[in-house]
Amino acid sequence: MTVLPVAELENLRVQAEQDLAQVTDDAALEAWRIRYLSRGQGRITAAVEALRSIAADQRREYGQAVNALKRAVEEQFTARREALARRRIEDTVQRGRIDVTLPGRPKPLGRLHPTTQTLRDMIAAFQELGFNVAEGPEVEWDWYNFSKLRIPPDHPARDMWDTFWVDVEHEGERPMLLRTHTSPNQIRVMERQEPPVRVLVPGRCYRFEATDATHEWMLTQVELLAVDEGISLADLKGTLDHFAKRMFGPDRQVMLHHSYFPFVEPGVEVAVDCFLCRGDGCRTCKGSGWIEILGAGMVHPEALEGVGYDSRRYTGFAAGIGVERIAMLRHGIDDIREFYRNDIRFLEQF
Ligand code: PHE
């Protein structure tokens, strides 16, 4: 083995460093390592092994020099390897880079349907007076929707509600329908509980009628029912007065005038003074200064007796309120068909 004089070691170092400076990827780095540092063929490894064949008087000087060389070059190799690894990571980051300063694409937030919003406000207004919420079925027996409410088959009052009938297949089965109002729940509630009753029943109702700006085949109602000893028309009026003020403002007044529903006596139509023109007369109140908002009355004694209540002891009032109608008045919506057309531009306004 040729013995390198100490001076030659310096040349070797310069060469190794220059070569290393050319290395730009892992493959080139490995080739460099084999050329200089590998066991069998490495030039620096060979220089270290040459120590054995050096004359004893030069061995110390050569040994120190070659070890220093080896350490220095190994350090540079490690530094190079780490630099390459760091660059690989930076490249990856650079390629997958996202601009975190770009504004995001907002997902539209859902909101409550205007019917739901108004319904919740209505429920809150009556809960303040001690009414509890109950529910009843949308597919209903003729019995509850009509007969028990004193509207027997063939009675002309049935014409007040155009009805979707449900085909029932079984022979002799009682007729079924989609409830035309929430009033069947007056009967259902009274059948399952004794007075005192203070209940409110929200729900969808269906009517087989042509649609126009004020008529839909599906609508939401709230049924109100209070039965106890000594309940009078004044209680009904006070309850509705509270309701009108809560929905349309503290200055509102209600007016009752006579109307007819077979299951109440007397029956009333209830109007609120126009909150737009304050009584002067405008388009919303059709010039009258008053806006009809609901039907109501004192529960008919025969309806009370029909569920086993003693009508000499108990009296009650009932009311049926159209939720879309209230929402239309509150928001100035002039076509009820907008509610279920599912046009998001309409719904987003509420
Ligand atoms: N159920 C009636 C309707 O839908 C309204 C009403 C309810 C009237 C309760 C009187 C008492 O037209």
CA dihedral 185, 186, 190, 191 (to 10 degrees): -50
Q: Establish whether residue 181 lines the binding site of ligand 1, counting it when its CB lies within 6 angstroms of any ligand atom.
A: yes
Residues forming beta bridges with residue 205, ordered by sequence position = 219
Which residue's CA is minimally distant from atom 2 of ligand 1? 320
Residues forming beta bridges with residue 159, ordered by sequence position = none
Residue 135, token pair as written in the block: 């529910």
Three-point CA angle 223, 228, 234, nearest 5°: 75
Residue 126, token pair as written in the block: 């009556």
| Number of neighbouring beta carbons within 10 Å of residue 292 | 17
Q: How far is the CA of 265 from the centre of ligand 1 (A)?
A: 12
Q: How far is the CA of 275 from the centre of ligand 1 (A)?
A: 24
The residue whose two tokens read 């949308």 is 138
Q: Establish whether residue 296 lines the binding site of ligand 1, counting it when its CB lies within 6 angstroms of any ligand atom.
A: yes
With 0-12 / 13-18 / 19 or more C-beta atoms within 10 angstroms meaning exposed / middle / buried, residue 231 is: buried
Are the C-beta atoms of 261 and 267 separated by less than 8 Å? yes
Q: How far is the CA of 227 from the centre of ligand 1 (A)?
A: 16
- How many angstroms separate the CA atoms of 282 and 103, rounded? 48
Q: Establish whether residue 183 lines the binding site of ligand 1, counting it when its CB lies within 6 angstroms of any ligand atom.
A: yes
In this prediction, residue 256 carries a pLDDT of 96
Q: Which helix (H) or strand (E) holds 25?
A: none
User: What is the C-alpha radius of gyration for the chain, rounded to an integer number of angstroms?
Assistant: 45
In this prediction, residue 279 carries a pLDDT of 74
- Choosing from 23, 161, 244, 323, the catalytic residue is 161
Return per-residue pLDDT of the chain as tens, 350 residues.
455 677 788 899 999 999 999 999 999 999 999 999 999 889 999 988 888 888 888 888 888 999 999 999 999 999 999 999 999 899 888 888 888 888 988 888 889 999 999 999 999 999 999 999 999 999 999 999 999 999 988 888 788 888 999 877 666 667 899 999 999 999 999 999 999 999 999 999 999 989 988 889 999 999 999 999 999 999 999 999 999 999 999 998 999 999 999 999 999 999 998 888 877 878 878 888 888 899 999 999 999 999 999 999 999 999 999 999 999 999 989 899 999 999 999 999 99
Pocket test for ligand 1, best of 183, 264, 299 (most atoms within 8 A of CB): 183
